Amino acid sequence: MKKSISLLLAGHLALALHAQNEPPIIQTFTVNPDWANLSLQIQYEVTDAENDPLEVQVQFSHNGGKDYSITGSVPVSGDVGFPVQPGTRNIQCDIAALANLPASFLARLVVDDKQTFDLQWLVDQVDSTRIRADLEYLEGVRHRTAGLAQLKNAQDTIRNLFLAQGLVYEEQAVPFGNYTGKNLIGNLPGTAFADKVVINDAHYDTVSNAPGADDNGSGTVGFMEAARLLSPYPFKKTLRFIGFDLEESGLLGSIRYVNQGIPAGETIEGVFNHEMIGYWSNEPNSQTLPQGFSLLFPAAAATVAANQYRGDFITNVGNTNSQPLALLFSNTAQQYVPDLKVLTLDVPGNGQLAPDLRRSDHTPFWEAGKQALMLTDGANFRNECYHTPGDTLDEKLNFTFLSNVVKATIASMAQLAEIQHGDWAAASFANNVSTSTAGSSCELFAYQQDGQSGAFHLQIRGCAVSEIAVSLLDMKGSVVLEDTYAISESDLLNVHTPILPPGVYVLKVRFGENSRSQKILLR
C-alpha cells in the first residue's frame, strides 16, 4: 500500500523578500513511498526570483532528523544535484536499503542557488520589539523551588519556539536533589559537515529572589531571536541552540551537557554564550571592574577608564584557546554592527586567575578544550540590581543594545557555520512493515484561499481516526488556536482563526498518537 505525505510550505523564507538576491523558496515538497517496489517518488516546487540554477540535495534520516547518516545508502536520480532549474521537479529514490529498518524516516530537501548571502540584510531583521515582548513574558522568578511555574513557562516557550522553527528538539535531564532540571536543545543538522557544530546558548533559570530580566532573561530572549532568524536557512555545519538549566546552582546544566551530552565524533567549532546582554548605561562611573582586572588586562582597563567607566559596551570574554572565535566576534561586530562597542578579553589559560570571568556556562567548554565565548554586560560590575528583586524590565535594559549583541552573534554564527543562500524542508514517511499506530497514513493539506482572512482550509485523506486536534502557533511559539474536529475518512474542514496579523504560522495536527506539523502563510 502506498502512503503519501504532502506539505504545503508557505515559505521558510517568507521574510526574505527584500534581499539583494533572493534565496530560492521551496513551495511544496511531497514524498510518496512505494514499498512493494522499493521506490520513493519525490515531487517539489521551488521558485527563485532571479531564476538562478540550483543545487538540490535530498537527504534521509532514520532518527527524526538527528542525523542524515543513511543518505549514502539511498541512490537518487532525476532533478537533483547541480544545475537544476526552478519549477516543479521530480526525484526518484531506491529505498531498498531502508526496507529492513523498522522505523519511520525523514526526507530533507535542500536547495541552494550558490549566491552570496547578504548578512547585513539578515542581521537587520533582528526585531527589538519582538525581543522585548519575549522578555515581558519570561520575566519572573524562574527557580526550581521559588518560581517553578514560571520556570516551566520558560521551558515551554523555548521548546515551542524550537519546534515551530523546525529544529530537532531534545531534552537532557539534569538531576539535582529532588528536582530534575532540563537542558533544552534545538538542532539544525548541517548539510555538508554535520559533525561540526556551532552553539548559541543561555541559561534560563534565576536565583530564588530575582525576576531575572537581565540575568538571564536577556540572554535567553537573545538566543531565541537568533534561533528564530537563523533556522529558516540551510547551513553546511550544524547549528545548535541550548537553554541551560541550573546555572545558578553551579553551572550544573552546562557541566552535565559537556560531560554527557556531546555526541561522540562531534567537533564543536564555537560556543556563543549569552550571559546578561541587556544592561547598558552611558553614565560615567556606571561600570566597575573586578579586583586585579587592570593587572591582567591593562589595555582593556585603560579603554574603560578613557571612556569614563561608562557601561556602554559588551564584553567578549575568550580564554587563550578561544581567541580565534573572540576575534571573529569582534571583527564581525565592527563590520555588521558598528554601533556596538565590544571590549575583547584574552583570558589566560582557562581563567583560573580571573574567577569572575568563569561564572557562566562557557566555563565547562573551556575546561573541555572547546572554543567558547561569554558575551556579557558585566553582571554585578554594571547592574546594581544583579540577583535582587530589582532585576526587572525597566529603563536600565536597553533593547537597542541587546538587539545589537544578537545581531553580532547571528552574523558570527552564520559565517562560522557557513550559511547557504537557500531553503530547506522535511517530510516524513513510514516503512509499511514497521510498527505504527492508527492514523499514521493521514494525508494533510492546508491552504488559505486568496482574499480570505480569518480562516483556512484543512483537507484530510486516509485518516483512520474519527477526531483530530488542531493547534496553530505563531513564530514565537505561542499557541493562537486550539480546537478538535470530528472527521470522516475524507474531509475538508474550514478552520476559523482569531484575528491574526498576516505572516507565517505553524500548524500542528494530532491524530491518534501521531502528529504532523507544517507552516502555513496567512494573509
Here the cell at position 367 is 575546561
Q: How far apart are CA 123 and CA 340, in angstroms?
A: 13
Same domain, residue pair 383 and 495: no
Q: What is the pLDDT of residue 342?
A: 98
Distances (CA, A) of 121 to 124, 169, 241: 5, 28, 22
16 pLDDT more than 50: no
Q: What is the pLDDT of residue 475?
A: 61
State the Cα torsion 495-496-502-504 to the nearest 10°.
-30
Same domain, residue pair 408 and 459: no
434 pLDDT more than 50: no
Pairing of the two strands 193-203 and 237-244: parallel
Select from 416, 445, 462 the last residue of a domain.
Answer: 416
Q: What is the pLDDT of residue 344?
A: 98
Name the 3-class secondary structure at 67. Answer: coil
Q: Is residue 297 part of a domain?
A: no
Cα angle vertex 159, ends 137, 196, to 5°? 125
13 pLDDT more than 60: no
Q: How far apart are CA 380 and CA 358, in angstroms?
A: 14
Q: What is the pLDDT of residue 347?
A: 98
CB contact set of 299 (below 8 Å; sequence gap of 6+): none
The highest-confidence range among 3-12, 25-34, 286-295, 482-491, by mean pLDDT, is: 286-295
Q: What is the pLDDT of residue 9?
A: 47
Same domain, residue pair 258 and 406: yes
Same domain, residue pair 77 and 42: yes
pTM (predicted TM-score): 0.83
Name the band, by pLDDT with cuts 50, 70 and 90, for residue 335: very high
Q: How far apart are CA 80 and CA 90, in angstroms?
A: 8
Here the cell at position 244 is 541551560
406 pLDDT more than 90: yes
Q: How far apart are CA 97 and CA 160, in angstroms?
A: 34
Q: Is residue 22 part of a domain?
A: yes
Distances (CA, A) of 18 to 13, 14, 125, 418: 11, 10, 11, 21
Q: How far apart are CA 115 and CA 13, in angstroms?
A: 15
Same domain, residue pair 100 and 147: no
175-184, 273-282, 416-425, 432-441: the lowest-pLDDT one: 432-441
Q: What is the pLDDT of residue 2?
A: 31
Q: Any idea what DSSP says for residue 73?
A: G
237 pLDDT more than 50: yes
Distances (CA, A) of 508 to 89, 428, 468, 469: 27, 14, 10, 8
Q: Is residue 444 part of a domain?
A: yes
Name the band, by pLDDT with cuts 50, 70 and 90, for residue 514: low
Q: Is residue 302 part of a domain?
A: no
Give 261: exposed, middle or buried? Use CB within 10 Å, 0-12, 13-18, 19+: middle
Q: Is residue 485 part of a domain?
A: yes
Mean pLDDT of 27-55: 94
Mean pLDDT of 14-18: 42
76-80, 219-223, 471-475: the lowest-pLDDT one: 471-475
Backbone angles phi, psi at 183, to 5 degrees: -90, 125
Q: How many residues does the chain have?
A: 523
Same domain, residue pair 173 and 240: yes
Q: What is the pLDDT of residue 304?
A: 98
- Compare 488 and 53 and report the one with higher pLDDT: 53
179 pLDDT more than 80: yes
Mean pLDDT of 187-211: 98
Same domain, residue pair 426 and 375: no
Element (H, E) at 511: strand 503-511
Q: How far apart are CA 300 and CA 312, in angstroms?
A: 14
Q: How far apart are CA 474 and CA 55, in angstroms?
A: 31
Domain containing 185 equals 119-275+311-416
Dump strand ranges (E) for 276-366.
314-319, 342-347
Pairing of the two strands 342-347 and 314-319: parallel
21 pLDDT more than 60: yes
Report the percent of the chain where pLDDT is more than 90. 75
Q: How far apart are CA 85 and CA 369, in angstroms?
A: 45
68-82, 252-266, 356-370, 455-469: the lowest-pLDDT one: 455-469
Q: Is residue 289 part of a domain?
A: no
| Single-letter amino acid, residue 86 | P
Same domain, residue pair 95 and 58: yes
Name the band, by pLDDT with cuts 50, 70 and 90, for residue 449: low
216 pLDDT more than 60: yes
Same domain, residue pair 91 and 204: no
Q: Looking at residue 190, which CATH number applies to its domain?
A: 3.40.630.10
Q: Is residue 373 part of a domain?
A: yes
Q: How far apart are CA 308 and CA 313, in angstroms?
A: 12
Name the band, by pLDDT with cuts 50, 70 and 90, for residue 8: very low
Distances (CA, A) of 188 to 166, 233, 315: 8, 9, 28
Select from 386, 416, 446 the last residue of a domain.
Answer: 416
Element (H, E) at 154: helix 148-164
Here the cell at position 488 is 470522516
Q: How many CB atoms lie within 10 A of CB 43?
A: 17
pLDDT tens per residue across span 87-123:
999 999 999 999 878 778 999 999 999 999 999 999 9
Q: Looking at residue 446, which CATH number applies to its domain?
A: 2.60.40.3080
Select from 393, 416, 439 the last residue of a domain.
Answer: 416
Q: What is the pLDDT of residue 504?
A: 72
Q: Is residue 294 part of a domain?
A: no
Q: How far apart are CA 317 and CA 378, in angstroms?
A: 10
Question: CB of 218 within 8 A of CB of 275?
Answer: no
Same domain, residue pair 162 and 231: yes
Same domain, residue pair 387 and 453: no
Same domain, residue pair 268 and 174: yes
Question: CB of 520 within 8 A of CB of 448?
Answer: yes
How many domains are contained in the chain? 2
- What mean pLDDT is reported for the chain? 89
Question: CB of 225 within 8 A of CB of 406?
Answer: yes
